[in-house]
A and B are shown apart, each in its own frame.
Chain A
Amino acid sequence: MICAPSLLALTSAEGADPAGASAVSYVVLVACLVLLVGGVLLLIRALRGPTVFDRILAINALGTKTVVLVALFAFLDFGHADPSFFLDTSIVYALINFVATIAILKYIQYRRLS
């Protein structure tokens, strides 16, 4: 984790605009770490939740955080790689997260999915 910003700074220093790219990469990296800490807290609630609805709520919030995290991964080396493929992954994950939450709720309430 400590060597990652230096690696980013090195790779961005070889690019066209070294200063701006490295600053954006640092911001995105710090945001990724903060979101990972929040995801760990949500995972604790998902493991500890007294009812099944606490777990579903925590997993749903964790899925939203994962969508944002994948979108942040796209901008980690923004000056060099095309981030649109990561954004495609993020959009698909948002759709799957919503549908999975509704499906799990329906299964718990009716014990079947049809």
Chain B
Amino acid sequence: MTPLEIVGTIFIVIGCVFALTGAVGVLRMPDFYTRLHPAGKSDTLAQGLILLGLALFAAQSLIATLGAAHGEGHGGEWIGPVNVILKLVLLTLLLFLTAPTATHAIAKAARLDRHTKIPVENDPGASRVAEIVVVGDIEDKLEEPIAKVLDVREDDRPAADDQQDADADNQERGDDDNNQDEETRS
């Protein structure tokens, strides 16, 4: 094997390792949002490395045809390997653009879907990623752990009831004021 083919083989082997670990990660990660991680990152890197290795094979073929063309004296054979290399580069750019975009779209669609409950494993400390909420759902801080948030809610419940009663009183007074205003206007 020529040195270019050896380098391409190394790239392909590393890419295959990344592809296999990404597939195992998608199979064995505990919940959906952690499965996004190997599927989105390692697959992108794996296809980049494998297509780069194939491009190096094509470059070796290009060098071989260039040498043969110089020896025989007629050109034109180099257009085939250059075509292959350009198509591989186009494919790499295309996958580098579309694969993370598709992963992002999947993550956002899963987050915005209110009807599908993304299952988290039984241990609440296993992954808290699924507990991140859209702004406006609840008013708790996102960084606090789940148990702490629950304790805070238990302690704040009577205070919240008092606040609600106060709000209700204010609303009644506001209604009375409005009625008085209406009476004075009439």
Contact = CB atoms under 8 A, between A and B. Distances in A.
A56 B15 CA distance: 23
Given A37-B20, A67-B95, A27 B109 contact: no
Contact of A101 (B26, B84, B105): B105
A98 B141 CA distance: 36
Interface in A56-100: 56-58, 60-61, 64-65, 67-68, 71-72, 74-75, 78-79, 82-84, 87-88, 90-91, 94-95, 97-98
Interface in A23-48: 23-24, 27-28, 30-31, 34-35, 37-39, 41-42, 44-45
A60 B91 contact: no
Contacts of A19: 1
A72 B50 contact: yes
A94 B35 contact: no
B32 A109 contact: no
B78 to A, nearest CB: 14
A84 B26 contact: no
12 contacts: A30-B16, A42-B27, A51-B32, A53-B32, A54-B32, A60-B99, A61-B22, A64-B47, A87-B87, A91-B90, A101-B102, A108-B113
B19 A105 contact: no
A100 B103 CA distance: 13
A13 interface: no
Given A37-B20, A60-B103, A82 B47 contact: no
A23 B5 contact: yes
A57 B46 CA distance: 16
Interface in B1-49: 1-2, 5, 8-9, 12-13, 15-16, 19-20, 22-24, 26-27, 32, 35-36, 39, 43-44, 46-47
| Chain A residues touching B, majority SS | helix
Given A60-B102, A87-B84, A87-B87, A42 B23 contact: yes
A34 B16 contact: yes
Contacts of B101: 98
Nearest to A38: B23
Contacts of A64: 43-44, 47, 95, 99
A52 interface: yes
For the complex of A and B, list the 10 residue pairs with the smallest distance between their C-beta atoms, beginning with the closest.
Answer: A38-B23, A98-B98, A41-B23, A87-B87, A53-B110, A34-B16, A105-B109, A61-B39, A101-B102, A41-B27
